[in-house]
Structure 1
Amino acid sequence: MMDTMQGLKRTKYCGEFTAEDIGREAVACGWVQRARDKGMLVFIDLRDRTGIVQLAFDDRTDAELRAKAQTVRSEFVLMAKGEVRRRESVNPDLPTGEVELYVSDLRILAKAQTPPFEITDKTNVKEELRLKYRYLDLRRSEMQHAILMRHKIVKAAHDYYDRNGFLEIETPSLIKSTPEGARDYLVPSRVHPGCFYALPQSPQQYKQLLMLSGYDRYMQIARCFRDEDLRADRQPEFTQIDLEMSFVDEEDVMTVNEGFMAHVFKEVLGVEIPTPFLRMPYDEAMERFGSDKPDTRFGMELCDLSDLLGGCEFKVFKGALEAGGSVRALNVKGAADHLSRKEIDKLVDFVKAYRAKGLAYTRLTADAETSSYEKFLTDAEKEAIRGRLGAEKGDVLLIVADGNNQTVFDSLGALRVELANRLGLIPEGKFNFLWVTDFPLFEYSEEEGRYVAKHHPFTHPAFEDLDKLESDPGACHARAYDMVLNGCEVGGGSIRINTPELQERMFEALGFSEESARAKFGYLIDAFKYGAPPHGGMAYGLDRLVMLMLGKSSIRDVMAFPKVQNASELMTQCPAEVDEKSLRELSIAVTAREEAE
């Protein structure tokens, strides 16, 4: 039979013991990090979420109590009472390393099997095993630090927005399915056979309706769900810091949220973030960095060579320009000794993942020059390219040409970041914020054969583009803004449409019939008829913000129970089949699908 806590209460967390406690009686509890049995001396490192304190037993300890301590193993759950005393051998690497608890009462509250991996921060265990036993992985101080930081960021958000007049209001988790973006997660209704709720991709429409309802400033720590493919910074369920404001323009929303970032970085990390943030139009971001979320911590900007090659006979460049595309390049300064021909061949495969057909290069080493394309150019064209790129000995010039400008931007933008990571060009501990503004309102979807909203269909068009909504939708810009941190979109938002007439025009531009628009969004259009104030807002990806603030490479490292690449959870083995009775109650029939050969 295990011991109980009866008669004892914890008086101090393990990581809180200091020299000021010497001579005092204390009670601590937690898990055994490790135990060291030296015969008449027994030492146990006791761990909780705050840190570690050493429990000590010696030749003056009651023999029965010392024998009990000798039975303790890693991950046993203990409660210990004793006197705090100074350690004979101080451990300077441990915050509690000056003291130890000399134990007079030891309770073994639970025993533990040998865990499948050691509960330490420096672990080489595969992530799959850590996620299968996530409850053990969460005992590691590295994970506990991340979860604590997440808590502090949420608290800072509550404090800041409350101080600035925002009300926290919950919105529904079972909503109407109105897919226009990522796929919805659907929830069958038992009482309405054949009908489904959707889990919210965001609280977008509800928070707009709250503005119409007169609540003026809203915020929420909102759970959101999107059935989309996973990446390092994306999960099927995630958390947003969501907000909306009435009687505002872009400047008002950006100013309030620059203040939030300055507040949260100061409170959580002790880092001063200067405001206002740099602002960059979308077109400039794409031209300079090949990305609408540029990492400005390093240079290596894209360079447009198209105007230099108007009469070029090299078919790769000529074909791209004749198709209406472009020829653009990166100069990787001083990289010739780091990027061998073999490494450059690997980079060709890298850009092909972004639909580029290839990667032209010139490598200028100290004793030789090699190029995959210069022999096809005139001397004037070759020198013009080198001159514009500022090429010098030691540099590597990398060029992508394509008839689709987006392919050029995507491939070179991704290559720029990949090379910066490989070559160590990104400074550590630096936080570069900027706003990307003036986004296109629409983008053309080849798959759907129509324009789709770049952000969502409730974004207000730029005033100067209102007359182009039907005639030239591809030329329309949005009153939208994204907050970018170190090359990641950490939050985004827009000024919203607030009149039924403009919202109906927007749906028409997106290819919705009047009947389809009313079926999906009729309640919103009708609501606008009762007086909606000008309003706008934004939402932060909380998981992504925590990841960036902690310098992690994946949001899985800052979430308690994340999913893996195929959207399953290894610990509970979900999703899983349900029994026939449950399916019948929900009026659902499952059609078996044969696996493709």
Structure 2
Amino acid sequence: MHAYRSHSCAELNKDNVGENVRLSGWVHRIRDHGGLLFIDLRDHYGITQVMADPDSPVFKDIEKVRSEWCIRIDGNVMARDESLVNDKLPTGEIEVFIRDIEVLGAANELPLMVFGDQEYPEDTRLKYRYLDLRREKMQDNMKLRSDVVSSMRKRMWDKGFREFQTPIITASSPEGARDFLVPSRLHPGKFYALPQAPQQFKQLIMVSGYDKYFQIAPCFRDEDPRADRSPTDFYQLDLEMSFVEQQDVFDTIQPVITGIFEEFGKGRKVDQTWEQISYRDAALWYGSDKPDLRNPIKMQVVSEHFKDSGFAIFAKLLEQEGTEVRAIPAPTGGGRKFCDRMNVFAQKEGLPGMGYIFWRKQSADSIAQERGITVKEVNALIKSGEIVLGDEAAGPLAKNIGPERTEAIRQQLGLGVGDAAFFLGGKPKAFESVAGKARQVIGDELGLTDTNRFAFAWIVDFPIYERDEETGKVDFEHNPFSMPQGGMAALDGDPEDVLGYQYDLACNGYELVSGAIRNHRPEIMFKAFEIAGYGKDEVEKRFGGMVNAFQYGAPPHGGCAAGVDRIVMLLADADNLRDVIMFPMNQRAEDVMMGAPNLPMNEQLRELSLRVVPQES
């Protein structure tokens, strides 16, 4: 028999009854039933119930065993009584009577329990990550991650792509985030960088004539952490193709992503048709360039209804150039309590509040106030048929702008009795993000968001440039390496009108994929950078390797990268990337388990010709 096991803890069933077996694993749970000891023995594959009574030759040794000890047992497979069969376990029809036991690794008192669903502070989970990873949910998440990556590879190979590895140590090349720098021992005072992405290398692979490339690539960025972003490193499905247009990239990656979500989405609906939404429309309709389309609410501009209106705040605001008022429809939200809750939300976001209108059936009270008569008189008029109760708009805004304007807003938004609308005004960039959050809160609270669905949309037509309102200086707003739509001719007009062949894929409020058709023409690239104030020498200095390569017959090419961590996070129903990464950093970019970052030894610093300058307190 094997030294440690004849079967895994998920294999045994009633066909094995009567066999002598050997199992190894961790003590998941111990139950003492009046002299009968039951142990749920767990390994990576499952759980088997093993048991002993005082007749077992090693009963006294078994009594000493505690949770999470790693043990080996030998025993006889027995059928469970029919009333004790556990249908939830593959091994639920049997149990193993222990004849021998060996402690392979005893455990100290546990800082966190593996059995059960107790919540622990993040730093506790990360410091003892090897225990946290033993928990069922984490085991499932990591298996899911491995299976997703495997499926990605198979799907890319099936599409005719080959996997090539790009360097991990390279030159610093700012791409929107901070680099992690690596000092060079052989070249004192000089530094390598960990790649923020394989961007330049994968483009060089296209210049080298390989046509289709992919890689499950590690990327390194010194970023501030968020729930959906790692502060140090992450993985992406990176791909690039030659002789393609934007739609070719979409047609290549869509079946890969769709297939992954169908395979691992636990039966949830996966959108088959992916809408293409311009960046500016996404900002207008959803207040975000990564909209959650499970929420059907679409915001609209309603400025015309507030110009020269009785609501002075918006009326005066609209006299300023570049301002507008947007409405967030709230179907079924037509009640004062809900409107008050949304006002509280706005105040938490740093606003004084949100204007609102809600529509309801007229009441005798409101008619009495409007006509200056008593409710009793109104009721009499209703009874006589002289007054017919209709619909009315309520709320402070409705009183200020009057019935004609409120009715025009209702018609534009397609709302009715029982619905509401919320309003924000100003320069769009100043309030779009809050409007987007409000839209999401409204959709969630009113039950409008379809939580059993993966909703995808391509966000396209990103503006390449933006102009600083104070200085008038033009700089890049988005990827400077994407090909301008219209090529060189597009760069002769207003920079703010120049759009790039850049695109993101949004899913359920997250950016899953980002990519572009690349600017492979040196003369167009130099012109594009010149508009943003970067001379030819600066471009060659920063991106010399790629620019030089483009002088030797670069093909048109494009591609994208899909975030592996975010995809798995969505599939696992996790709220945080750290639940789908094996050994993540904490919120302060620290590895509390391994003690990183740490201080280097003096010998190491001398070898690298470095000295640490103490920070001023």
Which range moves more in the overlay, 308-317 or 249-258?
308-317
Residues 291-327 of structure 1 show CA distances to partners (whole Å, capped at 9, x for unaligned) of 2211111212212101222333534213432231210
| Cα deviation 1:141-177 (Å, max 9, x = unaligned) | 1001000000001100111111212111111111111
Q: Could you tell me which residue of structure 2 aligns to residue 156 of structure 1? A: 151
Q: Which runs of 5+ in 2 are unaligned?
A: 367-392
Q: 2:335 touches 2:358 (CA, 8 Å); kept in 1?
A: no
Q: Which residue of 1 aligns with 2:253?
A: 257
Q: Of 295, 299, 320, which residue of structure 2 is paired with 1:298?
A: 295
CA distance in structure 2 between the partners assigned to 1:227 and 1:443 by the alignment = 25
Q: CA deviation at 1:98?
A: 1.5
Cα contact 1:290–1:410 (8 A) shared by 2: yes
Q: Secondary structure at the match of 1:565?
A: coil
Which residue of 36, 43, 65 corresponds with 1:48?
43
Stretch deviating more after TM superposition (500-509 or 571-580): 571-580
2:397 maps to which of 367, 370, 373: 373
Distance in 2, Cα, partners of 1:440 & 1:105: 71
Cα distance, 1:370 vs structure 2:
5.7
RMSD: 2.5
CA-CA distance at 1:195 after TM superposition: 1.2
Residue 427 of structure 1 deviates from its aligned partner by 2.6
Q: Say if 2:525 is the partner of 1:503.
A: yes
**CA shift for structure 1 position 392:** 3.8
The Cα of 1:515 is off from its aligned counterpart by 1.7
Q: Counterpart of 1:74?
A: 67
Could you tell me which residue of structure 2 aligns to residue 195 of structure 1?
A: 190
Alpha-carbon distance between aligned partners in 2 of 1:569 and 1:265, rounded to the nearest angstrom: 31
- For residue 571 of structure 1, report the CA deviation from its aligned partner: 2.2
Alignment of 1:383-532 (within 5 A): 383-402=407-426, 404-444=427-467, 450-463=473-486, 466-532=488-554
Distance in 2 separating the partners of 1:23 and 1:279: 63
Kept after mapping to 2: 8 A contact 1:37/1:70: no
**Conservation of the 8 A alpha-carbon contact between 2:36 and 2:54:** yes
Secondary structure, counterpart of 2:462 in structure 1:
coil
Q: Which moved more, 1:39-48 or 1:556-565?
A: 39-48
Shift of 1:346: 2.1
Cα deviation, residue 446, structure 1 = 6.8
Match of 2:616 in 1: 594
SS of residue matched to 2:10: helix
1:340 CA displacement? 4.6
Q: Which amino acid is 2:331 matched to? A: K
* Residue 3 of structure 1: aligned partner: none
Determine the C-alpha separation between the residues in 2 that align with 1:275 and 1:546. 19
Asked if 2 retains the 8 angstrom alpha-carbon contact of 1:200 and 1:224, the reply is yes
Indicate conservation of the 8 Å contact 1:33/1:74, yes or no: yes
Match of 1:557 among 579, 586, 590: 579
**Which region of structure 1 is more displaced relative to structure 2, 144-153 or 367-376?**
367-376
* Equivalent AA in structure 2 for residue 143 of structure 1: M
Is 1:146 paired with 2:141?
yes
Q: State the alpha-carbon separation in 2 of the partners of residues 242 and 581 from structure 1.
A: 39
Map Cα deviations across residues 510-551 of structure 1 (whole Å, 9 max, x no partner): 321222111111221110011111111100110000011122
C-alpha spacing 1:9/1:278, structure 2 compared with 1 (3 Å): same
Residues 276 and 533 of structure 1: CA distance in aligned 2, closer, same or farther (over 3 Å): farther
Larger Rg, first or second structure (1 or 2): 2
Q: Distance between the aligned counterparts of 1:198 and 1:544, measured in 2?
A: 24
**Is the Cα contact below 8 Å between 1:9 and 1:27 reproduced in 2?**
yes
SS in 2 for 1:136: helix
What corresponds to 1:324 in structure 2?
322
Asked if the contact 1:326/1:408 (under 8 Å) is kept, the reply is no
Closer/same/farther in 2, CA of residues 333 and 267 from structure 1, 3 Å limit: closer
Letter in structure 2 aligned against 1:475: D
Following superposition, the deviation at residue 16 of structure 1 comes to 3.1
Aligned residues: 583
| Cα separation, partners in 2 of 1:341 and 1:251, compared to 1, 3 Å | closer
SS at match of 1:54: strand
* CA distance in 1: counterparts of 2:50 and 2:96, whole angstroms: 5
Q: CA deviation at 1:449?
A: 7.0
Question: Counterparts of 1:72 and 1:310 in 2: how far apart (Å)?
Answer: 77
Q: 1:275 to 1:428 in 2, by over 3 A?
A: closer
CA deviation after TM superposition for structure 1 residue 426, in Å: 2.5
Which residue is 1:349 aligned to? 347
Bigger Cα displacement from structure 2, 33-42 vs 173-182: 33-42
CA distance in 2: counterparts of 1:457 and 1:447, whole angstroms = 22
Note if contact 2:332-2:446 (Cα within 8 Å) is conserved in structure 1: no
User: 3-state DSSP class of the match of 2:209?
Assistant: coil
In 2, Cα distance between equivalents of 1:157 and 1:374: 54
SS at match of 1:469: helix
The question of whether the paired residues in 2 share the 8 Å contact of 1:51 and 1:141 is answered with no
Partners of 1:21 and 1:84 within 8 A in 2: yes
Q: What is the aligned counterpart of 1:108 among 99, 103, 107?
A: 103
Report the CA distance shift for 1:555/1:37 in structure 2 as closer, same or farther (over 3 A): same
* Unaligned runs of at least 5 residues, structure 1: 1-5
Shift of 1:269: 4.1
- Alpha-carbon deviation of 1:570? 2.6
In structure 1, distance between residues paired with 2:477 and 2:90: 50
Read off the aligned partner of 2:132 and give its amino acid letter.
D
Structure 2 CA distance for partners of 1:313 and 1:588, relative to 1, 3 Å: farther
